[in-house]
A = this chain, B = another copy of it.
Amino acid sequence: MSRVLYSLCGADSSVRFSPHCWKVILALKHKGLAFEEQPVGFTEIPTLEDGFSKTVPILKDGDKLIADSFAIAIYLEQTYPDRPSLFKGEGGLAMARFVEAWSQSTLHPAVTRIAVKHIHDMLAPVDQAYFRESREARLGATLEEVATGREAEISGFSEKCTPLRNMLKFQPFIGGSEPLFSDYIVFGAFQWAALTGNTGLLDPNDPVSNWFERCLEFSEKG
């Protein structure tokens, strides 16, 4: 059975930077499921699978199509229950929604302001035009205006990670002794920053940096 993950790429198709696609890459590796990654540019998404979804990730698992990273994680958990769990129970699934809400309301706006110009510059020309128009409408400012807040955002980034840092005093992963989908949700935000040229947002000795490295090691093992 073929398994294809459509994920977002820049002009260089080897650079896949979408935080939401990274969540799914690590979820598939966690489940030990082989897959082929098919990188696509922003403007190709509407042409995929007869316009199945306006956003990636899209997972095609045999003849089944699923979009949205959280929905894909739930699908994988339900479809492959004998593989390692992504949630470790009903409570873990519910609380992963809180982790998602925290990551996407706290880290994502910060990474957007830090990385928006880098992301734009990495894209193929046709995707650059789409990205500029859609993001400027969403952000209510030009990409260049948003980017003026970059240094302030970098200065404040470490403090935004405080809940994760404090939790790491008790356990090595958000999922406890091992990473779960909740870790991959937050990992996605950091990987997005890193792959768009924004490394060094945290001190290398920061417990959060160490957690990120542990997640990365896990993903490379898969």
Contacts and interface: CB of A to CB of B under 8 A. Distances in A.
Interface stretch (A36-44, A99-107, A118-126, A214-222): A99-107
A106 B163 contact: yes
A207 to B, nearest CB: 12
A173 interface: yes
A96 B91 CA distance: 9
A163 B91 contact: no
Contacts of A83: none
A52 interface: no
20 contacts: A87-B89, A87-B91, A88-B94, A90-B92, A91-B91, A91-B176, A91-B182, A94-B171, A94-B174, A94-B176, A95-B96, A95-B98, A95-B174, A98-B182, A100-B167, A102-B163, A104-B166, A105-B166, A106-B162, A106-B163
